[in-house]
Chains A and B, each alone.
Chain A
Amino acid sequence: MTADFLLSLAQAITKGLLTGMVYGLMALGLSVIFGVMRVVNFAHGEIMVVGMYLAWMGFEYLQVSPMLSLPVIALIFFGAGYALQRVVISPFIGRPEHQQFLLLLAIAILLVNACLVVAGPDSRGVQMESQFDSYELGPFVFDAVRAHAALTAVVIAGLLWLFFTRTRTGKSIRAAADNNLGALVVGLDVRRLYAFTFGVGAACVGAAGALMITIIPVTPFLAAEYTLLAFVIVIVGGLGSMTGALAGGLLIGVSEAVAGLLLQPSLKSMVSFGILILVLLLRPQGLFGKSST
């Protein structure tokens, strides 16, 4: 192997890690919601696409960088997620899974069509001078936008970890996730905790959307692709596991980047789905998931 090839490989792995961190943040929202409520959010990609559009609108009409609009978007998504859970999703908890699936699919279709009505079918992206920037470290060249997005994703994931391990509400949510009946017996308001969890999950996805718009342009039809990607990540990492979601994001990000380098770039998605099949065969609960037995 030549030095040039090794350098290209190292560059690809670095790029995969940076993208994987944003993927991880996106999947984190899905994992948190499932881990606590046992509801699979099939509108996940659509919620992220709405976040991308909000960040784009902030940039286009108010000249606010997506990085600056991120906290506002996360807050809006928290509120919207909380309300959505209380009003629409809550009655479906405990109902057959196919009913939950249809409900969330309907929400997904509504969101995509709302995006089409508001922004049209064309690709929308933010054009900032920083999108041409990169950092040089010896022979390595880092994409500045990806590095900023990855760093922000790590900070958000850290804050989320602090929330779940250090705050009373976070601990209550974990308690309700571990033993729903026990939580009810000790007097926890499980319905409110569920709504809070959905809000937190939506805020994560909204934040990931604000970061993602700095990397790629958005169209309404992107949503299904990202729902699928989030599912691949959380299934590989372990459904319901926060660590699994982050690790799955990194694994998929790196595998896509390396596959693009070693194989034809247009075949890179094949590798992530190959990993998914392998994990489902060898460790169905995912790399960090708990076995149901």
Chain B
Amino acid sequence: MTGRKTFTRRRLGQSALAGAALLGAPLPLREAFAQGAPANLKVGLLLPTSGLQAQIGQACRRGADVANDVFADMKLPVKLEIVNYDTETKPDVARTQAEKAIDAGCHILVGAFDSGQTIAIAQVCEQRGVPLVVNIAAAPQITEQGYKFVVRNFPTAPMLITGALSLHKEIFKISGKTPKTAVLMSVNDTFGTAMINGIKALFPKLDMPYELVDTISYDVAAKDLSVEVAKAKATKAELLLPVSRLNDAKLLVQEMVKQRWEPMGVLNPGAPGLYEQDFLKTMGKYGEYMISNVPWLDPKSAMTQALEKRHAAKFPNDQLDLNGGFTFEGVLIAAQAWLAAKSTKPGDLMEALRKIKIDQHVMVGGPIQFDSKGQNVNIKATAVENLKRKPTVVLPLESAAAPLVFPMPPWNDKRRT
């Protein structure tokens, strides 16, 4: 039979020679062999889905889980292969997982919610020449160290702080009540330290109407904040500025209620915690009227509406918040870069990321674009107040879904139900 191939000693020799040539080829050539055929874009999504930040990491992941469906709804001609990696809320694990993702053939990485873990991943991406799209991480050094393979679609700590403190003035102006003193309470991890340093540096320049009377830092894994809250209460500050995560935000408010400390307001200057679903659920009426000055989903964007619809259908018991929003945008950026590059080669993807301009996206702000350092500078801050167990945009006024309530009603006020 003419078409039949037989396996001879000569064929075996030829195959062995070809295999040896491929194995012996220099690494770039091998990559070219591997990437010669058209392939799907494989995105490595690195998030802390277990450990201390598990709940937030899972909220981030939900945004990515519905990304392909939203792309289809928005007629975006792309379908990504998203592979999930758990960083276990540890920078060393984040680093190992990043290496694992790249070894598994991921063309681009997205992550990792926390600054410490993101820095660990960024170092790996830089060494291996694979692009990293940072979904959430505010430490300035991520885009200040001259990395060539890192872009960040999240405000830096100074950007978060400037946006938040500017909104504070607006809150006081609208409510007609201005506190004279404030106390800053912060976690002492990479993010918290960056925020504290940023606030201290920017505070004099922003001409704030209140004085910062004390700064109290605590461990991110703190299991009891009674001493910290007692110390803050003793300052008699009229305003609390918490730079918290989720678990400590719950401990903080629980202690404030127990110790009957009722400042004029709790204004989060750009940190997570207060707007999160688990916080709202577990704190109940005591979680109401707390304000977070953070970037938020733009309810007027068609893509946000599509994302909300898909998210509600797939995760009916979970709230879509900025974690899901920014992670979705991280995947969207990867998809748009792939469409622009028409290639999965890291260099081409990175080149496309540098030139990208995405007008239609989900978070409040201008088009997604990266400056020479890889930072998106078009993201805007909002004031999100917890009203009726839901984070609700109250500022800027053009995006407000409900009127602002400030000062915060006392713990036993009838308005808290």
| Residues of A bordering B, CB below 8 Å | 4-5, 8, 11-12, 15, 19, 120-123, 127, 131-134, 136, 141, 143-144, 215-217, 219, 222, 256-257, 260-261, 264-266, 268
Contacts and interface: CB of A to CB of B under 8 A. Distances in A.
Contacts of B218: 265-266
B60 to A, nearest CB: 15
Interface in B207-253: 216-219, 222-228, 230-231, 233-234, 236, 247
Contacts of B286: 132
6 contacts: A8-B231, A8-B234, A127-B282, A216-B223, A260-B227, A265-B225
A249 to B, nearest CB: 15
Contacts of A120: 50
Given A131-B254, A132-B254, A5 B216 contact: no
Nearest to A145: B258
Interface string B135-157: 00000000000000000000000
B192 to A, nearest CB: 10
A222 B50 CA distance: 15
A57 B190 CA distance: 34
A122 B50 contact: yes
B223 A217 contact: yes
B55 interface: yes
Contacts of A15: 226-227, 230
Given A141-B258, A265-B218, A8 B230 contact: yes
A121 B50 contact: yes
Contacts of A141: 258-260
Contacts of B223: 216-217, 222
> Which of A127, A219, A260 counts the most B-chain CB atoms under 10 A from its CB?
A260
B257 interface: yes
B311 to A, nearest CB: 21
B19 interface: no
> Which of B55, B226, B233 counts the most A-chain CB atoms under 10 A from its CB?
B226
Interface string B52-83: 10110000000000000000000000000000
Contacts of B236: 4
A141 B258 CA distance: 8
Contacts of A266: 188, 217-219, 222
Contacts of A127: 282
A5 B258 contact: no
A131 B247 CA distance: 15
B403 interface: no
B51 interface: yes
A261 B257 CA distance: 19
B88 interface: yes
Given A132-B286, A266-B218, A261 B259 contact: no
A120 B122 CA distance: 28
Contacts of B228: 260, 265
A159 B259 CA distance: 32
Contacts of B55: 122
B304 to A, nearest CB: 29
A12 B259 contact: no
Nearest to A16: B227
A132 B260 CA distance: 10
Given A121-B50, A261-B227, A266-B222, 5 more contacts: A15-B230, A132-B254, A134-B259, A219-B52, A260-B231
Given A127-B282, A261-B230, A134 B260 contact: yes
A112 B70 CA distance: 41
A143 B256 CA distance: 11
B54 A132 contact: no
Contact of A268 (B216, B227, B282): B227
The 5 residue pairs across chains A and B that have the minimum distance between CB atoms: A260-B227, A216-B223, A8-B234, A132-B257, A134-B258
Contacts of A11: 230
B50 A264 contact: no
A191 B342 CA distance: 76
Given A12-B230, A266-B188, A121 B254 contact: no
Contacts of A131: 254, 258
Interface string B91-105: 000000000000000
A120 B51 CA distance: 9
Nearest to B261: A141
A5 B234 contact: yes
Contacts of B52: 123, 219
Contacts of A261: 227, 230-231
B227 A12 contact: yes
Given A8-B231, A264-B217, A143 B258 contact: yes
A122 B216 contact: no
A266 B220 CA distance: 10
Contacts of A136: 260
A37 to B, nearest CB: 31
Contacts of B233: 8
Nearest to A262: B231
Interface in B165-188: 188
A261 B216 CA distance: 10
A121 B89 CA distance: 11
A214 B214 CA distance: 30
A163 B219 CA distance: 40
Contacts of A19: 224
A144 B225 CA distance: 15
Contacts of A222: 223
Nearest to B236: A4
B85 to A, nearest CB: 15
A156 B224 CA distance: 24
A219 B222 CA distance: 12
Contacts of A132: 254, 257-258, 286
Given A15-B230, A143-B258, A261-B231, A123 B247 contact: yes
B263 to A, nearest CB: 16
A131 B231 CA distance: 20
B247 A144 contact: no
B50 A257 contact: no
A55 to B, nearest CB: 15
A139 B51 CA distance: 39
A12 B227 CA distance: 7
Nearest to B258: A134
Nearest to B259: A141
